[in-house]
Amino acid sequence: MPLRSSRPLLLAMLCLLLVACTRTPLLQGLDERQANEVVAVLLRHNISADKHLNGKAGFSVTVGQGDLAEAIDLVQAHNLPSAPRTQIASQFPSDAMVSTPLGERARLLSAIEQRLEESLATLDGVHTARVHVSYDAGPVEGSLQQRKPPAMHVAALLVHVPGADEQALLQSVKRFLRNAFVDVAYDNVSVVLTPAQATRTLAVTPAEHYAGPWRSLLLPLALLALLGGAVWLLRRSGRTLSQGLAALRGRLRPRERAADARTS
């Protein structure tokens, strides 16, 4: 069997190998905590996901081409990636040229909101949490002499797993938010609970159940098939592996010489 006539078969094997290696980027520019959250959610829904470090660009998450649509639905349903954690000290840069008392207070309250959201998200059964603190946009300088400051209000929106004890969760969250501030009355804390929407997942059939291990073996099998096909083609052509490599080098040498002649 001539080596040239076997090129379509080799091309088909290479295509099989490329399909086995195909991974599609899902999210990029994440920190490690965000990437871990995304990978954990995808793995819980039987979607193979990989985390990659891209240097200064941060982390990225890749999935299989066939799982891309479902992975996008999952990260949107879980409001991922979550907001990066913010430290209060970073909200007051020492090199700021212009800083007003109102701006400093707004940045401080915004940082406190994010810190409270991170704390509430750690509660059992809570998917995501959003906290909003009332902002006093009135004059700050001399406000104590001019008027009485308005009472502070805190509102929280929590998305929880279906079937959670909403009454117990409501009391815990209100007590937590009330104790997070000195001058907030219990009646000025509002909490809204909403169950998470059921995520669409593919039905798990016996065939799909056993396809999981085969998916991880696809790349090694493709490599073995490619090597086995190359050895079989060499044997059909009456050549050994060393002879086939020697013939390949013999074909490449004239091209290398021609390229060297053009460059010189």
pLDDT tens per residue across span 134-164: 877 665 555 545 557 788 899 999 999 888 8
Q: What pTM did the predictor assign? A: 0.50
**Which pLDDT does position 257 carry in this prediction?**
61
Instruction: For residue 218, name the pLDDT band (cuts at 50, 70, 90).
Output: low
Instruction: For residue 222, name the pLDDT band (cuts at 50, 70, 90).
Output: low
**Structural domains in the chain plus CATH codes:** 16-78 (3.30.70.1530), 88-137+150-195 (3.30.300.30)
Mean pLDDT of the chain: 75
Instruction: For residue 194, name the pLDDT band (cuts at 50, 70, 90).
Output: very high
Q: Which residues of 207-246 are buried (b: 16+ CB within 10 A; e: fewer)?
A: eeeeeeeeeeeeeeebeeebeebbeebbeeeeeeeeebee
Which range, of 53-62, 173-182, 224-233, averages the lowest pLDDT? Answer: 224-233
> When comparing pLDDT for 240 and 34, which is higher?
34
Instruction: Order across the sheet with 24-30: list the strands.
Output: 24-30, 59-63, 49-53
Closest-CA residue to 74 (of 87, 61, 59): 61
For helices 32-44 and 68-77, the axis angle rounded to 10 degrees is 110
**Which pLDDT does position 6 carry in this prediction?**
53
**Which pLDDT does position 85 carry in this prediction?**
65
Question: Would you give the DSSP letter of residue 113?
Answer: H
Instruction: For residue 242, name the pLDDT band (cuts at 50, 70, 90).
Output: low
> When comparing pLDDT for 126 and 199, which is higher?
126
pLDDT tens per residue across span 96-112: 666 777 777 778 888 88
Instruction: For residue 192, name the pLDDT band (cuts at 50, 70, 90).
Output: very high
